[in-house]
Chains A and B, each alone.
Chain A
Amino acid sequence: DAGVIQSPRHEVTEMGQEVTLRCKPISGHNSLFWYRQTMMRGLELLIYFNNNVPIDDSGMPEDRFSAKMPNASFSTLKIQPSEPRDSAVYFCASRQVTGTGDYTGELFFGEGSRLTVL
């Protein structure tokens, strides 16, 4: 399997522009997570989906952030409008939650999307 695939790997944009980050989870995984990593705040969970349904978006910093998962193989994280403080590495991760509700399985991370907002 190719693993979790994120695009773009690097994005430089100007303040006020819309940014869309994309993620393709591992085939067969039914849970998907978006994390943000910065030096100041470490690794923060933004939102996660189970079976394409958003479960907990309490980590989404503001209304400027939105995430969708239209199907089991694709998710987007959108920032509109972007601000310099949004500069970070954004990680997507996925895992399979079994029918018995085992939530202890390994989380597989993508390589991350490094966003710089000027």
Chain B
Amino acid sequence: AQSVAQPEDQVNVAEGNPLTVKCTYSVSGNPYLFWYVQYPNRGLQFLLKYITGDNLVKGSYGFEAEFNKSQTSFHLKKPSALVSDSALYFCAVRPLSGGYNKLIFGAGTRLAVHP
């Protein structure tokens, strides 16, 4: 089955420190991978995507993600965390078969940035 896994329910980081939110995928072939963020009582917002090309993808709000094919990972990173980054983060994959126009989301990781 094509899926993404987010192994951490929650990540705690001190403000100013680098942050990493992990995502691994299970897709045969070349995956299309995405990160979305959800603030409290809001819908999800797009952060960035990997389709092809450079393995390091830059997105909104200073976030970036690194595609690693050998480790089947697509971790979200930011060099210096802000308290305002505290939110729920979702990794997602677009299936390569059985529905090109849908996204399958991971369970989500709650990021808590402490002052």
- By a beta-carbon cutoff of 8 Å, the part of chain A in contact with chain B is 4, 31, 33, 35, 42-43, 45, 48, 50, 55-56, 91, 93, 97, 101, 103-104, 106-112
Task: Supply 4 further A-B pairs (C-beta < 8 A) apart from A43-B105, A104-B94.
Answer: A43-B44, A50-B101, A112-B41, A112-B43
Residues of chain B in range 10-59 having any CB-CB distance to chain A below 8 Å: 32, 36, 41-46, 49, 51
Q: Report the Cα distance A33→B43, complex, angstroms.
A: 13
How many residue pairs, one in A and one in B, have C-beta atoms under 8 Å apart? 53
Q: Which of B44, B100, B106, B107 has the most CB of A within 10 A?
A: B44
Q: Report the Cα distance A109→B44, complex, angstroms.
A: 6
Taking chain B's interface residues, is the majority helix, strand, or loop, or is none over half, making it mixed?
loop
CB-CB under 8 A for A42 and B101, given A103-B94, A110-B43: no
Q: Report the Cα distance A56→B32, complex, angstroms.
A: 19
The residue on A at minimum CB distance from B46 is A106
- Residues in B whose Cβ lies below 8 Å from that of A45: 102-104
Taking chain A's interface residues, is the majority helix, strand, or loop, or is none over half, making it mixed?
strand
Q: Report the Cα distance A68→B61, complex, angstroms.
A: 36
CB-CB under 8 A for A42 and B108, given A56-B102, A104-B32: yes
- By a beta-carbon cutoff of 8 Å, the part of chain B in contact with chain A is 32, 36, 41-46, 49, 51, 90, 94, 99-108
* A24 to B: closest C-beta gap in Å: 14
Question: Quick check: A109 and B43 within 8 Å, CB to CB?
Answer: yes
* B26 to A: closest C-beta gap in Å: 16
20 A–B contacts, CB within 8 A, in A order: A4-B43, A42-B108, A43-B90, A43-B105, A55-B101, A91-B44, A101-B100, A103-B94, A103-B100, A104-B94, A107-B36, A107-B46, A108-B46, A109-B43, A109-B44, A110-B43, A111-B41, A111-B42, A111-B43, A112-B42
Select one of A103, A109, A111 contacting B101, CB under 8 A.
A103
- Residues in B whose Cβ lies below 8 Å from that of A104: 32, 49, 51, 94
Question: Quick check: A42 and B106 within 8 Å, CB to CB?
Answer: yes
Q: Report the Cα distance A95→B90, complex, angstroms.
A: 18
* B103 to A: closest C-beta gap in Å: 6
